Amino acid sequence: MTIRDIGLGIKTLLEWIGSFFQDWRDVLIWQTNWLDANILHVLMSLGLYCLIPVGTWGVITESLQHRRKLKDDEQYREKWELEQQLRVKEYKENRAKSIRVVIYLFLFIIVLFTSLILYDSWQRSHY
């Protein structure tokens, strides 16, 4: 087995995976008749059609329950407000660190390119 064989095998695998998901997408959005589709694609589509409403219902009920607790339960509200204040504080600290990293990276790039330009001009002047 050569490196070329491995590369061709990986390429073939990726093409197969791409066509598999493209065929599934066609079944999912009703571009392909379900009677003509692969049974696995049909089952995957049915599963997704069932998961979307269940997941949406779970998010909605959890959100409503959270709002009800905030409105009715004083201890829950205080704990939640404390957590929110901590999140905001951490966000501000992390944002400041991120800005510093971006500035340092920008300065590094400027110094790098400046040194490359100076080195190039120095080489041209000596030859």
98-123 tens-digit pLDDT: 998 999 999 999 999 899 888 888 88
Measured CA to CA, the distance from residue 92 to residue 103 in angstroms comes to: 17
| Mean of pLDDT over the chain | 91
| CB-CB contact of 68 with 75 (8 Å) | no
Least Cα distance to 48 among 21, 14, 19, 13 occurs for 21
Measured CA to CA, the distance from residue 62 to residue 56 in angstroms comes to: 10
| CB-CB contact of 62 with 45 (8 Å) | no
In the structure encoding, which two tokens stand for residue 44, read together?
Answer: 């995957």
* pTM across the whole model: 0.51
For residue 96, what pLDDT is reported? 86
Longest dimension (CA), the chain: 82
Res. 126: pLDDT tops 80: no
% of the chain with per-residue pLDDT over 90: 74
Residue with the larger pLDDT of the pair 127 and 13 = 13
| CB-CB contact of 59 with 49 (8 Å) | no
